[in-house]
Amino acid sequence: MIIDCHGHYTTSPAAHNQWRDQQKANFKTGGDIDPAYPDISDDQIRETIEQNQLRLLRERGADMTIFSPRASAMEPHVGDLAVSETWARICNDLCARVAQLFPDRFLPGAMLPQSPGALPATTIPELTRAVEELGVVTVNLNPDPSGGSFSAPPLTDRSWYPFFEKMVELDVPAMIHVSGSCNCAMHATGAYYLAADTIAFMQFIEGDLFRDFPTLRFIIPHGGGAVPYHWGRYRGLADMLKRPPLAEHVMKNVYFDTCVYHQPGIDLMFEVIDVDNILFGSEMVGAVRGIDPQTGHYFDDTKRYIDALDIPAEDKRKVFELNARRVYPRLDAQLKARGL
Amino acid sequence: MIIDCHGHYTTSPAAHNQWRDQQKANFKTGGDIDPAYPDISDDQIRETIEQNQLRLLRERGADMTIFSPRASAMEPHVGDLAVSETWARICNDLCARVAQLFPDRFLPGAMLPQSPGALPATTIPELTRAVEELGVVTVNLNPDPSGGSFSAPPLTDRSWYPFFEKMVELDVPAMIHVSGSCNCAMHATGAYYLAADTIAFMQFIEGDLFRDFPTLRFIIPHGGGAVPYHWGRYRGLADMLKRPPLAEHVMKNVYFDTCVYHQPGIDLMFEVIDVDNILFGSEMVGAVRGIDPQTGHYFDDTKRYIDALDIPAEDKRKVFELNARRVYPRLDAQLKARGL
């Protein structure tokens, strides 16, 4: 079984996106931030999926995707906490519907109702609802709700602890994922995403979060940002800062996905990162949707790069399936309940 | 000849650092921000260099270093523009003294007197002085004078144009290099540096700076941040954003150094980046000063990684010397004037 750990509903129905535009407009004018949600039929949802993510899953030979709301549209910097709470609920419900319509293909992930300056604990009710009522197997946690100024405390800050306690209690991991950039100097998918990934990893080196939460698990997407490329720098910094070796201090709790859109990058990742810490992911249909003229294949068809690796079949199975079952126990439980 | 394009005076004399502390203290209390500079003897300077950078140059078998003020101490976010102007002048003078004391070993680079919100054009006088009076061959340009909030306009913004015109006129390249982080969520050398490098590259993709300045040249240090590892993402983003191919749009004007502290990272860089765009650099004595237990050698002894590459000797000569002579014409001129 091949499980893509990183998919967003980037092709959500126009009516859903229009609702968001209405919400934003209402917020500005002091209107209703929870206006009536449009009647979006199952067929309308099916259509947005079948022509896009489902078609590509079939064409590329993958089986399932962990499917969460569009990252760039989470926009925690827009409006206030109440706006985010409403928007998160609506987006999470929509992704859960996709998973209900295609139970063999999509498992739901959730976004969190974050807002700049709001305590992480404010997101616990939606986390709990998403896990217990919608069946989500993971959440996306935004380390910079400001949308590009990196003004939030580090992920190792005590203000996160109540949220992490709930994550541990529910046994769900989080993908660390910023949203759209409202900083004109920082392109979202070309700069902000990778910067945030890299910054988060260094926060884990500096802190002692996993001493306090030994079973807390994070996925750092986009191949871990700059981290594998600079693996020597991080090993050396851990040493200089008198931190324990990365293998015990960070890498029992942190996983990288394979959203690296060329073979040499994937080769490097597998050379320096333990295979137990790598999860197959593509983020299709996402940041880079074109075909690589050098290969004739989609840049984000990351399964091809893994297929091409000269590593044992058992290692590929870890990356495609077994690691995901271990990192996302609720995914494993749902699959087992279906006899998979 | 082996030229290290990336060295900072990280071992500057204690009296110099104490002067800075005094300047900061005076600024806070409304005192003199240009107090009397201490009498630092040539021998005191020699001592800080001979035991550190010069010893390592000899041990590692490199010949020369482009030597600029300590990056983490540039601190443009401290004080105001006048504080930065004074500090830059003093630091640039000190690096020029090092180069005068060791003319066969060090060529001076300069920092710029930047300050949050100040127009880039305000740094032109110090750029001009450093080039014409101190003989510097390059400057370090900080894309985020805020010290970690990325609040400045992109490098492609028109506000930079007067400064770039002067760079072109003087025929000096700039290394893009942030300073210390005053953001507790962003470690300087483990997060901020790499984030800034990556962000700058994406700004160049989005903009058309090199159409307007075809001979402007930038070095993006630390191996180009996350860029080579995500080279497929950048090729694909250029395509998606309807930008020209990177080879013509960015890579005629942008160079990466080799400050990547492990062999697999250097291998990747040389696999995806044209050898004409790679400059030997180590940033010793800098961010990572320890010995890699996996190799028994210093993490930042990047010459070893290049020596180990299975590439033609002529390519190594480009990386060690010829590219630097091309990118830094004032370096080339100084070497030629000495018959080198």
Chain B residues whose CB is inside 8 A of the A142 CB are: none
* Length of chain A (residues): 340
Regarding beta strands A278-279 and A139-141, do their DSSP bridges make them parallel or antiparallel, or are they unpaired?
Answer: unpaired
Q: Taken in order A37, A17, A81, A120, is the CA torsion positive or negative?
A: positive
DSSP secondary structure code for residue B222 in this structure = G
Low-confidence ranges of chain A (pLDDT < 70): none
ipTM above 0.90, yes or no: yes
pLDDT at A192: 98
Indicate the residue of B231, B268, B290 with minimum beta-carbon distance to A236.
B290
Question: Which alpha helices (DSSP H) does chain B contain, by range?
Answer: 14-29, 42-50, 53-60, 81-101, 124-132, 161-170, 193-206, 209-212, 231-240, 246-249, 263-272, 302-307, 313-317, 323-327, 329-337
pLDDT at B179: 98
CA distance A176 to chain B (A): 14
Low-confidence ranges of chain B (pLDDT < 50): none
pLDDT at A119: 98
Residue B87 in contact with residue B37, Cβ under 8 Å? Answer: no
Residue B100 in contact with residue B133, Cβ under 8 Å? Answer: no
CA distance A201 to chain B (A): 8
pLDDT at A118: 98
User: Mutation test of the interface with chain A: which of B183, B194, B249, choosing the one with the most A Cβ atoms within 10 A?
Assistant: B194
Backbone angles phi, psi at B281, to 5 degrees: -150, 155
pLDDT at A88: 98
Nearest to A229 by CA among B1, B269, B282: B269
* Residue B63 three-state SS: coil
Query: What HEC string does chain A produce?
Result: CCEEEEEEECCCCHHHHHHHHHHHHHHHHCCCCCCCCCCCCHHHHHHHHHCCHHHHHHHHCCCEEEEEECHHHCCCCCCCHHHHHHHHHHHHHHHHHHHHHCCCCEEECEECCCCCCCCHHHHHHHHHHHHHCCCCCCEEECCCCCCCCCCCCCCCCHHHHHHHHHHHHHCCCEEECCCCCCCCCCCHHHHHHHHHHHHHHHHHHHCCHHHHCCCCCEEECHHHCCCHHHHHHHHHHHHHCCCCCHHHHCCCCEEEECCCCCHHHHHHHHHHCCHHHEECCCCCCCCCCCECCCCCCECCCHHHHHHCCCCCHHHHHHHHHHHHHHHCHHHHHHHHHCCC
* Residues 283-302, chain B, touching A (beta carbon < 8 A): 287-290, 292, 294, 299-300
Scan for tokens 């061959």, then name that residue: B137
* Helices B42-50 and B53-60: angle between axes, nearest 10 degrees: 40
Backbone angles phi, psi at A255, to 5 degrees: -130, 145
Nearest to B16 by CA among B49, B65, B60: B49
Please list, in sequence order, all residues whose beta carbon lies within 8 angstroms of the beta carbon of residue B255, skipping any fewer than 6 positions away. B173, B217, B218, B219, B220, B277, B278, B279, B323, B327
Scan for tokens 């995403």, then name that residue: A193
Nearest to A70 by CA among A7, A131, A121: A7
> Would an 8 Å CB–CB cutoff place A101 in contact with chain B?
no
Chain A residues whose CB is inside 8 A of the B201 CB are: 191
User: Mutation test of the interface with chain B: which of A141, A222, A241, A262, choosing the one with the most B Cβ atoms within 10 A?
Assistant: A262
Instruction: Give the H/E segment covering residue B252.
Output: none
Chain B residues whose CB is inside 8 A of the A234 CB are: 190
> Would an 8 Å CB–CB cutoff place A235 in contact with chain B?
yes
Residue B136 in contact with residue B96, Cβ under 8 Å? Answer: yes
Indicate the residue of B149, B236, B288 with minimum beta-carbon distance to A149.
B149
pLDDT at B3: 98
Contact A191 B183 (CB under 8 A): no
> Would an 8 Å CB–CB cutoff place A223 in contact with chain B?
yes
Chain B, nearest residue to A282 by Cα: B233
Chain B residues whose CB is inside 8 A of the A192 CB are: 199
* Residues 248-267, chain B, touching A (beta carbon < 8 A): 260-265, 267
Contact A191 B184 (CB under 8 A): no
CA distance A333 to chain B (A): 34
pLDDT in tens, B76-129: 999 999 999 999 999 999 999 999 999 999 999 999 999 999 999 999 999 999
Q: For residue A255, what are the β-bridge partners?
A: A219
pLDDT at B122: 98
Give the HSE-up count for residue A50: Cα atoms under 13 Å, Cβ half-sphere.
7
The distance from CA B94 to its chain's CA centroid, rounded to whole angstroms, is 16
Q: Write out the catalytic residue numbers of B.
A: 283
pLDDT at A317: 98
Scan for tokens 């003078």, then name that residue: B93
* Residue B267 three-state SS: helix
Please list, in sequence order, all residues whose beta carbon lies within 8 angstroms of the beta carbon of residue A193, skipping any fewer than 6 positions away. A177, A178, A221, A222, A225, A287
Residue B89 in contact with residue B113, Cβ under 8 Å? Answer: yes
d(CA B4, CA B284): 9
DSSP secondary structure code for residue B149 in this structure = S
Q: Decide: pTM greater than 0.90.
A: yes
pLDDT at A1: 97
In the sheet with A3-9, reading across from the earlier edge strand, the strands are A3-9, A64-69, A106-108
d(CA A35, CA A57): 35
- Return the structure tokens found at A318: 């870890």
- Return the structure tokens found at B188: 């300087």
Contact B199 A195 (CB under 8 A): yes
DSSP secondary structure code for residue B85 in this structure = H
pLDDT at B221: 98
A248, A283, A314, A321: the catalytic one is A283
d(CA A189, CA A195): 10
- Return the structure tokens found at B338: 């000495």
> How many beta carbons lie within 10 A of that of residue A256, not counting itself?
24
Residue A292 in contact with residue A262, Cβ under 8 Å? Answer: yes
